[in-house]
Amino acid sequence: MNPRDCNTIFSMLSEYLDQTLPPAACEELESHIRDCAPCVEFVESLKKSVRLCREYKADIEAPALSPAVKRSLKEAYERMLSSREETAGRE
Amino acid sequence: MAGHPDAFDRFVELYNAKVFRYSFTMCGQREDAEEVAQETLMKVFESLGQLRAPERLKPWVFRIAKNACLMKRRRSLFAPKRELSLDALKPSKSGDGEGARLEIADWSALPDDIASNGELKRALNRAVEQLPDIYKAVFLLRDVEELSTEDAAGVLGVSEDVVKTRLHRARLALRKSLDEHLRTAVEQVRER
């Protein structure tokens, strides 16, 4: 195992997991980790961590909007729709 | 958004929840998050006509939310940005050559979903809270809201390379926090 290679691999892992690494870099990484047990172990832990973290949700629910706020939003929405219709009519 | 009879209700319900959770995680205050969500929705309806690419609706909404969050946190805008160093996120290694081992927890025993493990869920929430803001924002947009790198860069006003670097460090920091949690949990079980 070449420690410098492990360091290079370490900085590329998110792009590798997201499948956005350029093919040459991807090949280089895969060829390194084939023979590097610590890197395999680390990649697996990062992969699992990313999967779990994607489920993150703040521990709080959004409060329902008050009727007054909802009414103001609805008015703004309807203004937006009629101005869009006016623009479409002119075109 | 327009065209369906219940489009307004569906949009408001979905984005009120999304923007509220994003803002709560970024601002840390329920009242601020509530105001940010309402202000964002109002701005969306007031200026939706200016949106030229409808497929960019989600990043556009989050850009408005991000700016509203910044206004809420204006007092801390001039605080120095805390950076995460890549070296500090590397796991320790024991031994050399063929016998080298990483000092990390056994992740294979973990469930595949977070919901089935309350302790782990709390550990993750604490870890996200502790992330410096610049990393937290990228993590929320990329991994939680699943925006593309390009869209997240547009929301935050930074380059795609900056988004990639920050996302990687955010993930490494979260992995490290969860790893520490797992190791402590295993030690506690052993001590019993």
CATH 1.10.10.10 fits B87-191, yes or no: yes
Mutate to test the interface with B, among A1, A53, A83 (most CBs of B within 10 A): A53
Average pLDDT over chain B, rounded to whole?
88
pLDDT exceeding 90 applies to what percent of chain A? 66
| pLDDT at site B92 | 83
Using alpha carbons only, give the angle A76, A80, A84 rounded to the nearest 5 degrees.
170
Whether the CB-CB separation of B5 and A74 falls below 8 Å is answered with no
Q: What are the residue boundaries of the structural domains of chain A, listed by start?
A: 3-53
For residue A33, pLDDT beyond 80: yes
Among all chains, which residue has been given the structure tokens 């993590």? B139
Interface of B with A in 38-97 (CB under 8 A): 38, 41-42, 45-46, 48-49, 86, 90-91, 93, 97
Confidence band of A78 (pLDDT split at 50, 70, 90): very high
Q: Is B21 on the interface with A (CB under 8 A)?
A: yes
Kindly report, residue by residue over B141-182, the tens digit of the pLDDT.
999 999 999 999 999 999 999 999 999 999 999 999 999 998
Range in A59-63, B41-45, B79-83, B105-109 with the lowest mean pLDDT: B79-83
Of B62, B66, B47, the closest CA to residue B14 belongs to B62
Q: How far apart are alpha carbons B190 and A11 in whole angstroms?
A: 34
Whether the CB-CB separation of B142 and B174 falls below 8 Å is answered with no
For residue B96, pLDDT beyond 60: yes
Kindly report, residue by residue over A47-70, the tens digit of the pLDDT.
999 999 999 998 899 999 999 999
Q: How far apart are alpha carbons B132 and B118 in whole angstroms?
A: 24
Amino acid at B63: R
| Alpha carbon of B75: minimum distance to chain A alpha carbons (Å) | 23
Cβ count within 10 A of residue A47: 15
Q: How far apart are alpha carbons A43 and B139 in whole angstroms?
A: 18
Q: Given an 8 Å threshold on Cβ–Cβ distance, is B171 in contact with A14?
A: yes
Over residues B184-189, the mean pLDDT reads 75
Q: Given an 8 Å threshold on Cβ–Cβ distance, is A80 in contact with B45?
A: yes
| pLDDT at site B40 | 97
* Radius of gyration, alpha carbons of chain B: 20
Q: What are the residue boundaries of the structural domains of chain B, listed by start?
A: 7-76, 87-191
| pLDDT at site B80 | 65
| Alpha carbon of A60: minimum distance to chain B alpha carbons (Å) | 7
Of B167, B182, B192, B183, the closest CA to residue B84 belongs to B167
| pLDDT at site B65 | 97
For residue B55, pLDDT beyond 80: yes
| Alpha carbon of A49: minimum distance to chain B alpha carbons (Å) | 5
Q: Which residue has the higher pLDDT, B77 or B150?
A: B150
For residue A1, pLDDT beyond 50: no
Of B12, B48, B91, which is closest to A65 when you measure between CB atoms?
B12
Q: Given an 8 Å threshold on Cβ–Cβ distance, is B93 in contact with A51?
A: no
Average pLDDT over chain A, rounded to whole?
89
Residues 6+ apart with CB under 8 A from B6: none
Confidence band of B76 (pLDDT split at 50, 70, 90): low
- Residue A78: CA count within 13 A, CB half-sphere: 7
Confidence band of B111 (pLDDT split at 50, 70, 90): confident
For residue B4, pLDDT beyond 50: yes
- Using a CB-CB cut-off of 8 Å, the residues of chain B touching A84 are 2, 49
| pLDDT at site A31 | 92
> So what's the architecture of B7-76 in CATH?
Orthogonal Bundle (1.10)
Amino acid at B135: Y
| pLDDT at site A42 | 93
* Radius of gyration, alpha carbons of chain A: 25
